[in-house]
Structure 1
Amino acid sequence: MSVQDTRLLVLGVVKLREPTYGYEIEKELKRWNADRWAGIARASIYHQLKALTKAGLLEFESTGNEGKRPTQYRYRTTKSGREQFSALLRQELNKASPQPGDLMAALCFTPSIPQDEWEDSCRRRLGLIDLFLASFDEEMNRWFPTEAGKADYIQEIFYYEQAAFTAERQWLTDFLERLPSYYPPKRSA
């Protein structure tokens, strides 16, 4: 995953838990298995905390230290940090060229985006996936013309992507059905 994904995850966890300590952020991301699917290491979390604080997106308070322990800091988002979080989250949802698995960070903060925005994003993503899948065979023939005796194993990368998008297409359809359950019922006026 990208630095932007790490930034989104760290900002988002601080926003959810504020005020919070770095080790609590690390623990929460580990609970989400983000160390596996996002490749976020402990050092990345602390690097982001430092960078986000320097950029004015987080602020901290020192809580002192006990004995030989290092000083601990509790973090909270600033107004700019909350705005940046929302902007990063919307960027994740509205990528012009989606890739399999690139919604993982955004899913961690589903209720932070209105339901109708999620629905619009998912439908737009379904349309992009459908375009990719519809043109797949034609594009493969163009990129990898059949030549006698030539085995081009690189094409397996594209077959993998096709399979991943086929699976994601089904997941998106199912997710759209489940999405309302993640939001409070709408009140009638």
Structure 2
Amino acid sequence: MNQLSNVEFMLLQIIAECNQASGYEVNKLIDQRGYREWANIGTTSIYAGLKKLNGKGLIEYENSGEKSGKGPMPVRFAMTEGGMTTLRNEIIASLSSSRECDNRFDLGLAALAFVKKGEAIEALRKRLDFLGETHKKIRQKYESQGGARLPLYVRALFLHPMSLIESEQAFVANIINELMEETKEHV
């Protein structure tokens, strides 16, 4: 369904943020932000992801012309117009429809600066609808199977995701409110 892997999505965000970046700079930023801990991203997958993004025409690279030491000529990556369009589409999709507790949603949040506040608010409202529908389906399945009469280990399989969804709904509502406040401040 997604055109980009989570690694490619994250790499596009970093390159968009930096305007231009070398693989080393991208790696350094990934370490600083702690992406490795929560997004399961290794150094090899970063370079493979950059190569894939280049192959898809979403980024382009050029030799920087600044060689220091014995290694190869450093390469700098920059976003293409198609790359920025793809990034924006991925952000909107990840904010509006990824499951609760999904790294994809976190990646979308990390890239809020690259979409208009109104677009982010609309996507997050769709996310609230999505979460509401998901909660309703789980609740219906829970009730149809016996609800509170179910053994604890079965109830927990329903109650845990419903609890996570309720928490997520409150979180998303707060983010929407903050974005709306920021929008008012700039008018």
Q: Which residue of 2 aligns with 1:33?
A: 34
Give the Å deviation of 1:152.
7.8
Q: Give the one of 116, 119, 122 matched to 2:118.
A: 116
TM-superposition CA deviations, 1:10-52 (whole Å, max 9, x none): 0111111022111211222222222122111211111111111
Match in the other structure for 2:71: 69
Match of 2:159 in 1: 159
Which residue of structure 2 lines up, in the alignment, with residue 57 of structure 1?
A: 58
Distance 1:88 1:4 in 2: 10
- Report the Cα distance in structure 2 between the residues aligned to 1:170 and 1:22, rounded to whole angstroms: 38
After superposition, give the CA deviation of every residue in 1:40-85 in whole Å (9 maximum; x if it has no partner).
1211111111111122211111235444323321111112212221
Q: Deviations over 1:127-181 (max 9, x none)?
A: 2222333443331244x558x9x96846644433222111111111211122246
Match runs of 1:1-189 below 5 Å: 4-63=5-64, 65-95=67-97, 98-101=99-102, 102-142=104-144, 144=145, 153=153, 156-180=156-180, 185-187=185-187
Question: Which 5+ residue runs of structure 2 have no aligned equivalent?
Answer: none
Distance in 2, Cα, partners of 1:62 & 1:183: 40
Q: Match of 2:9, SS?
A: helix
TM-aligned CA deviation for residue 112 of structure 1: 1.2
In the alignment, the residues of structure 2 paired with residue 69 and residue 14 of structure 1 have an alpha-carbon distance, to the nearest angstrom, of 22
**CA 1:106–1:82 in 2, change beyond 3 Å: closer, same or farther?**
same
Q: Helix, strand or coil for the counterpart of 2:78?
A: strand
Distance across 1 between alignment mates of 2:154 and 2:140: 17
Q: RMSD in angstroms over aligned alpha carbons?
A: 2.8
Q: Percent identity?
A: 20
Q: Bigger CA drift: 70-79 or 58-67?
A: 58-67
How many residue pairs get matched? 182
What TM-score, normalized to structure 2? 0.81
What's the CA shift string for 1:102-129, capped at 9, x where partnerless?
A: 4101111112111112212222221222
| Secondary structure of residue in 1 paired with 2:60 | strand
Q: Structure 1: state its 5+ residue gaps.
A: none
In structure 1, give the amino acid aligned to 2:8.
Answer: R
1:98–1:125 CA contact under 8 A, matched in 2: no
Counterparts in 2 of 1:63 and 1:112: CA distance versus 1, 3 Å: closer
Residue 103 of structure 1 aligns to a residue whose secondary structure is helix
